[in-house]
Structure 1
Amino acid sequence: MTQKLTFTTASVRNLVISNPTDALYYEVLTPKWESHQTTVRRLDTHANRYDTVGSVRSQSGKPVAVSMYNGEFVNEELWLRKIEGQGRQSRWEFDDGEGNYFSWAVAGSNFELRSLDESGTQSPTPIATFYPHRRHFMVTMVSQQAFLEIESSVVDSLDTVLVSLLVLEQKRRKCSL
């Protein structure tokens, strides 16, 4: 069974990411007075509060360091490792800190997430797919909001998956993939 998480704006620095029932609800904030740091917070509906799940430091709009769960900042290239492929078939690997390994790859205009086993082999089918926003005639109003379609197996690692996706999308928009 899949879930659809909708991105409320075309920005990757200030938005809300949620499913239709708001059971999964994330807030991404980059305040003007701290424009070099983007914070990702998850709404804990039981305690009715936000928990910080990740932070991304940027320099000139490009992500340079990542922190998960208020831990130490780690160089973005060490946290999200680029694996060179043939032609433009590169992928970016990361782990969720609990022994699960994942890999993002570009598939047309989308990003696809696959799980990795102990030997580094990717799952045959994607477990999540990110569809970026679309605009009328590529320049006017947004005709389709961005969304992330996830399998139920991804929910346990969703914090790390979303932070990695935001880092990759920032890099894509700065043409530094």
Structure 2
Amino acid sequence: MPPPAAKPQPPRKLEFTMNSLRNTTLSTEDDSMHFEIVTRFWHPNITKINKFDMETRELVTVAEIEGLQTREPRVRFGGEKAQWMSAADFLKYDNEHLSGGTFKATEDTEYRWKTHRGRFQLVKADDPEKKPLAEFHPHKRHFFVFRMSRHAYFEVQPIPEIMQAIDKFIGGC
């Protein structure tokens, strides 16, 4: 009798600590994936996305977004030595769909943000099934007013392809 088939891994839950997208932390419960998104008051025009490297125990800048309040925001991936690119070149808006857009994680892999039944989802652009690889779940409050009963989070499928592209995934949010 063959051994039982391996159970599929459950989705990873990247939880937001704050409701501000410009100053928050995204992390899993065990902190195996930990991102810090911060806009410093002395640089109000630059938002940095830092990733905690478990091996070196330090924060590494993986992406920067400049000029969110301007007409021409820019992004760059890979730290200080990387080249700036227009945000419109990175996240291409689709006139056919009113919300979302597409971005390339690698040269041959393209993803698309979309909404489905009021949920913000990330799908592979060429997937005919349009199976979501990541899905945003908003926060909930007690009686719609009081403290949060559940923080907002991204539910990310544990596919090696998306786990490798997670830096651009967080930068493309």
TM-score range, shorter-chain basis?
Answer: 0.7 to 0.9
Which structure 1 residue ranges, 5 or more long, are not aligned?
A: 166-177
Aligned counterpart for 1:149 among listed residues 129, 143, 155:
155
Cα pair 1:113 1:129 within 8 Å, conserved: yes
Contact between 1:56 and 1:63, CA under 8 Å: does it hold in 2? no
Corresponding residue to 1:74 among 85, 110, 113: 85
Would the alpha carbon gap of residues 61 and 18 (structure 1) be closer, same or farther in structure 2, given more than 3 Å must change? farther
SS of equivalent residue, structure 1 residue 28: strand
For 2:64 and 2:14, how far apart are their aligned partners in 1?
20
Partner of 1:161 in structure 2?
Answer: 169
1:23-65 Cα deviation digits (max 9, x unpaired)? 0011111000101110001111011111111011134378811
Matches of 1:112 and 1:124, distance apart in 2: 10
Match of 2:73, SS state, is: strand
Q: Which residue of 1 aligns with 2:139?
A: 133
Tell me the TM-score normalised to structure 2 length.
0.83
Aligned to 2:3: none
Aligned length: 160
Task: Name the structure 1 match of 2:73.
Answer: 64
Higher relative contact order, structure no. (Cα contacts within 8 Å, ≥ 6 residues apart):
1
1:15 corresponding residue in structure 2: 24
Cα shift at 1:124:
2.5
| Percent identical | 24
Q: Which protein has the larger Cα radius of gyration, Structure 1 or Structure 2?
A: 2
Q: TM-score when scaled to structure 1?
A: 0.81
Deviation per residue, 1:80-120 (Å, 9 max, x gap): 0011226x4x4310011353210000224421000123xxx
**Where in structure 2 are there 5+ consecutive unaligned residues?**
1-8
Cα-Cα RMSD: 2.1
